Structure 1
């Protein structure tokens, strides 16, 4: 049975929730004054919406039922990362001078295999898709090369599925942490990912259908780049001519993050270069 027919929103959501709890729920302390301020503003925004839009009890109860389903499907990471994270990212990176960041998304898993550049990401025998050579250089904002910088990369396969979030895919498929050379240069052999729809058979899909939205994300590479003494940058890189660059469901596309691959010089697939500039810590 194919991955496409067995992957479900509930199983993907459960994995995303479990990995968030393991890797991100660190119990950061926030003052009661800050919690009071943010919670009060958020609640007021909802209350104002109810009053201004004259929300009915039927609509209110539909919202309650939907919120319950979001939890049951484990889709809070998906919901928040698709519709809210882009705003948090803009605030977090507003003062950076280096490369542009964008959202991490719900499908990140730390601890991917460490590979020396030039590297080939782990993949199945006969992995479907167009070969892609992705290369570039990591420097500081002052132009100095960052020797040994880490370029952590993960992306969906040609069917739009991520390892560890859909059944039947090897654990670290299309995931790796590539170590740049002494000049900060990296070279990664992988496959060009496909556009995909976020899961639509769960609570988020129910909202999308009810609102008449689409569920598509443009094809993208997820990247985290880090170097000694410098700030980590989390970003995504997209591809020209993708029909969903202008209406990404996650609102994460930025002009600076769009790649324009060319036919590979060896005739096998495509290749593209992209350089990363990191801000000092």
Structure 2
């Protein structure tokens, strides 16, 4: 990684990329009934009004909020803001019925259609990619215990410096992004490198909020996955490593005990074993 990479990976550029990706990939909004919009909008606004009254918000504070909200949009950071501070609650509500694996937030840096690597393969990476080599073996099953052959395991994660391909300059397009398809017994084996903890972008509007509130901006090291199989609900999750200083105070509040891995030393790297159990689609 070069110094130029550090100098040009800005929150504004990353935020703009996340906003553009969201607009191109997501279908949203149009099918929500008016009565549902009315209910949710009124309750959100009521909560804001209650906060203003309870804490005697001044005009200076109100105008500071207005200015900050404008800058969130100008910096393209609405996906970052919502995914860091709101999505974890939406995910909890949306998946509370599940009997299979726990999931967590997607975050703003998912890109569909990562290159196919088969049931056993190495994720695309640069020559001499920094990071500890990591081998991950697992199986995808349904809640009745039956293996799910042909299931898809989409994996993406940051590099050793905390940057994601397609959202920071100087990184190959599909670096550390791959799709793996399980064999007939639902098994897969993935070769990658261990990611590092990183700070969410702090040079934009979200960073201003963090600084003003005296918060930290760290996310623990994690692997992102989407696991899917015909007739089953999509699982979106992040997998974490034990001992990370920010497992207990993740800025995105996305860590769950069930998502913490148990790596074992192996040669010059590590191995992990982690399976997925998917819930059948609800009729």
TM-score interval, smaller chain? over 0.9
| C-alpha RMSD of the superposition | 0.8
Deviates more, 1:123-132 or 1:18-27: 18-27
Contact 1:152 1:225 in 2 (8 A): yes
Match of 1:186? 188
Q: TM-score, normalised by structure 2?
A: 0.97
2:68 paired residue among 66, 69, 75: 66
1:278 maps to 2:281: no
Separation in 2, partners of 1:275, 1:121: 18
Separation in 2, partners of 1:32, 1:268: 58
Separation in 2, partners of 1:17, 1:206: 19
1:44 maps to 2:46: yes
Contact 1:119 1:189 in 2 (8 A): yes
Separation in 1, partners of 2:270, 2:4: 27
Separation in 2, partners of 1:3, 1:210: 27
Q: TM-score, normalised by structure 1?
A: 0.98
Q: How does 1:135-154 map to 2 (within 5 A)?
A: 135-154=137-156
Gaps spanning 5+ residues in structure 1: where? none
1:19 paired residue among 21, 41, 56: 21
1:174 paired residue among 157, 173, 176: 176
Q: How does 1:14-163 map to 2 (within 5 A)?
A: 14-163=16-165
Shift, 1:27, TM fit: 4.2
Separation in 2, partners of 1:224, 1:31: 29
Shift, 1:268, TM fit: 2.7
Match of 1:257? 259
Gaps spanning 5+ residues in structure 2: where? none
